[in-house]
Structure 1
Amino acid sequence: MPKQSVSSFHPLAKGFHWIVAVLVFAVWPLGAVIGFIKDDAKTSFYLWHESLGFLVLWLMLARLCVRFLKTPPPRPAMPAAQARLADTVQWALYIALIAMPISGFLATNAHGFPLQWFGLIPVWSPIGKSPDIAPVISVVHYWLSWTILTLVVLHVAGALYHRVIRRDDTLERML
């Protein structure tokens, strides 16, 4: 018997999802290794980490607009607790993936390094060099990085659970 077709997310939602996923898997490791890079190469790592992170911010804002403008497809039947967990992880990822680049942007500026997006476009900041708050914003940025990693692991585990264990169409909605 042929498998029924699955209603899926809007093509823009899918595109933003997968582009952000790829960028997160690039930005997170770039940020994680900066402390281990020789000083003469750090500037280049920071440039890419910050620029791609700032791109994630704009893509997430666009993705959020699509999310509010286009109704997502119905999810396959699942227990209420599982649906709440899925919603919680999804919305926590939205929040963290928006808060993370904002905190990084503000931390960099507070440390006295304004953003030059991809080395080309100067980006105005609401704060300048602020040594008093720079460490606090940096700590927020650091803990958001681990929060995002945890949420991504939960998100991928959920997708794999639905694909491998439940064998339902949850994953196909985003493919």
Structure 2
Amino acid sequence: MTAVSVRPAEAKDREAIRTVEERAFGGRTEADLVERLVSDGAVVLELVAEIDGRIAGHVVFSRLTIESDGGPYLAVALAPLAIAPDFQGRGVGTALVEDGHRRLEKVGETLSVVLGDPEYYNRFGYSHDRAEQFLSDYQGEALQALAWGEAPSTGRLVYAAPFAAL
């Protein structure tokens, strides 16, 4: 099996990223979301995974704000995570998420929120228990959080503006 290589996304990757997003999700919604997040400057970290020189996967961590009595707190939202169908089941998603977490923790981020399959995201330490006290339009079992340090567990989650268009 060929190794997965993860690196920060570059401007030259935009077309390949769009293709991965469209193929992974079967439409344009997530690809359009990525373009809006990038153009709005809401991206905290964007990574691509390559296998044999081809972009096999992509992940975005965008700015998320938690509004609470203690004032706003900055966190990140993991969305979207996309793996091209012909590369699924080869560890691409795991490589992207784990590498992203290492990079985010290294620069001082302390909380990540994801809306996704609990069975998949639990393997990375995300849990609904950590997110259940947040106020969110997306509150439910699929809303999960992971903290690497001191971070609030209550307050209103405010996603980057492009999410409102979904």
The structure with more radius of gyration: 1
Class of the TM-score when normalised by the shorter of the 2 chains: under 0.3
| Structure with a larger share of its residues in strand | 2
Whose RCO is larger (CA < 8 A, sep 6+)? 1
| Structure with a larger share of its residues in helix | 1
Calculate the TM-score normalised by the size of structure 2: 0.27
